[in-house]
Amino acid sequence: MDLQGRSILLAVTGGVAAYKSAELCRLLVKAGAQVQVVLTESASRFVGAATFQALSGKAVFTDLWDARVPNTMAHIELARAADLIVVAPATAHTLARAAQGLADDLLSTLLLAAGKPVLFAPAMNREMWLHPATQRNMATLRADGARICGPASGEQACGEVGEGRLVEPEDLLQDIVAALTASCLEGRTVLVTAGPTFEPIDPVRGLTNRSSGKMGYAVARAAREAGARVLLVSGPTALAAPFGVECIAVESAQQMFDAVMARAAQAQVFIATAAVADWRPAQVLAQKQKKTPDALPPPIALQTNPDILAAVAALPQAPFCVGFAAESENLLQHASAKRLRKGVPLLVGNLGPETFGRDDNRLELFDASGHQSLGAGSKIDLARKLVAHIAQRLPVSDTPLQSPPGA
């Protein structure tokens, strides 16, 4: 479980999005966290303390003078016990108070006493969000070291459409995990390819494969959790982009090649998990191919696609390149040979294609010093191990080029 043994103080303030914090509370508990909820006076008008108490399994605090804390210093005790303080939703009012350092209720006092990371998830009407006063307060909070998640864009409870929605609870959970993860890739940009490619034959047909993209999306998510700026170039998949990752959607291998080559110079790490089609139809028909009267299938002439991984690895200032190999037999020999053929320092092998579409995998690492197993597990756990392994192998002299997400 992603948050096993972690203590989260979930502070809920008075916006209509407070109802989504109940779901966030449930997800945090499901992820293994101990959750202590603090409600502001106005939050409790939107969602009652009983809901949060039932979901977290702990009594909720709202009052600075709560008699349940023997030394009457609830703000200190609660702040001390937490690994991370999450304010979701954070109203314009709460953000302004936090930026000013006011201390006249439980939450504001607790934020001053925290001495530890605070993650704010703003939620408000779009005009309130765009107001220069709110933006000034956000700049102050960022400069003070707060982590800001969102807001998202879309339909708002007030009927307007724009920026100011609370980030969805599942995405907030990802950002909370990231906030608590050791930032071994902070300051780095990681470029990832994922999913299958689709090679058109005509406007309705094409050649593709059974890659789900799950391993690549897990790698992108793990890299972002580790503090990297992540660019995910993805073929067609049914997956939602991991939160905080820049996703570039492509279809064909040639489009994936172009998208990767346009961004390779920004990256210190390139991880090629995509199942790129080796060949494409030499000609794409402008109209749907008709059946012939004799019903004989038409021949499809193929031409070779560019090898994206080998091309990036051959760049003069190549990022640290990691290839993936799905082999159906003789993984050890084939993967070692493939690493040399592609010219990459690290190749990750798995026995495919039976891992396609599954949530678990087994990864083997091949580098110049030989072979090492990462073992079996869920794709996200293996992706985290892989990211930690890659981070250790990056040249320390690399000057970080990018600011970490949320900075």
| Closer to ligand C5P by Cβ: residue 307 or 364 | 307
Cα separation, 340 vs 350, whole angstroms: 17
Any idea what DSSP says for residue 91? Answer: -
Which one among 325, 383, 390, 391 touches ligand C5P, defined by CB under 6 A? Answer: 325
Cα separation, 291 vs 18, whole angstroms: 58
Any idea what DSSP says for residue 147? Answer: E
Q: CA dist 356 to 79, 192, 233, Å? A: 44, 18, 18
Any idea what DSSP says for residue 196? Answer: B
| Smallest distance, ligand C5P to C-beta of residue 214, A | 14
**Residue 274 sits in the site that holds ligand C5P (CB under 6 A):** yes
Question: Given the rule CB under 6 A, which of 69-77, 204-212, 221-229, 301-309 is the region that contacts ligand C5P?
Answer: 301-309
Which one among 10, 253, 365, 374 touches ligand C5P, defined by CB under 6 A? Answer: 253
**Residue 309 sits in the site that holds ligand C5P (CB under 6 A):** yes
Which one among 220, 272, 313, 391 touches ligand C5P, defined by CB under 6 A? Answer: 272
| Closer to ligand C5P by Cβ: residue 19 or 279 | 279
**Residue 323 sits in the site that holds ligand C5P (CB under 6 A):** yes
- Under 8 Å between Cβ of 93 and 123: no
| Smallest distance, ligand C5P to C-beta of residue 348, A | 8
What strands, in cross-sheet order, belong to the sheet with 189-194? 246-249, 229-234, 189-194, 269-272, 320-326, 346-350, 360-367, 370-378
Residues annotated as part of the active site: 158
**Residue 324 sits in the site that holds ligand C5P (CB under 6 A):** yes
- Encoded tokens for 378: 């869920």
Residues 189-228 within binding reach of ligand C5P (CB under 6 A): 193
Cα separation, 232 vs 230, whole angstroms: 6
Cα separation, 396 vs 404, whole angstroms: 17
- Encoded tokens for 41: 């006076």
Question: Given the rule CB under 6 A, which of 34-42, 43-51, 271-279, 291-299 is the region that contacts ligand C5P?
Answer: 271-279
| Closer to ligand C5P by Cβ: residue 74 or 220 | 220
| Closer to ligand C5P by Cβ: residue 169 or 349 | 349
Residues 126-165 within binding reach of ligand C5P (CB under 6 A): none
What string of DSSP letters covers 218-279? HHHHHHHHTT-EEEEEE-S-SPPPPTT-EEEE--SHHHHHHHHHHHGGG-SEEEE--B--SE
Question: Given the rule CB under 6 A, which of 96-104, 282-290, 302-310, 383-391 is the region that contacts ligand C5P?
Answer: 302-310
Question: Given the rule CB under 6 A, which of 31-39, 76-84, 321-329, 354-362 is the region that contacts ligand C5P?
Answer: 321-329
Question: Given the rule CB under 6 A, which of 36-44, 128-136, 180-188, 323-331 is the region that contacts ligand C5P?
Answer: 323-331
Cα separation, 391 vs 385, whole angstroms: 10
| Smallest distance, ligand C5P to C-beta of residue 384, A | 19
**Residue 88 sits in the site that holds ligand C5P (CB under 6 A):** no
| Closer to ligand C5P by Cβ: residue 102 or 310 | 310
What strands, in cross-sheet order, belong to the sheet with 7-12? 34-39, 7-12, 84-90, 118-122, 147-148
The residues binding ligand C5P (CB under 6 A) are: 193, 253, 272-274, 276, 305, 307-309, 323-325, 338
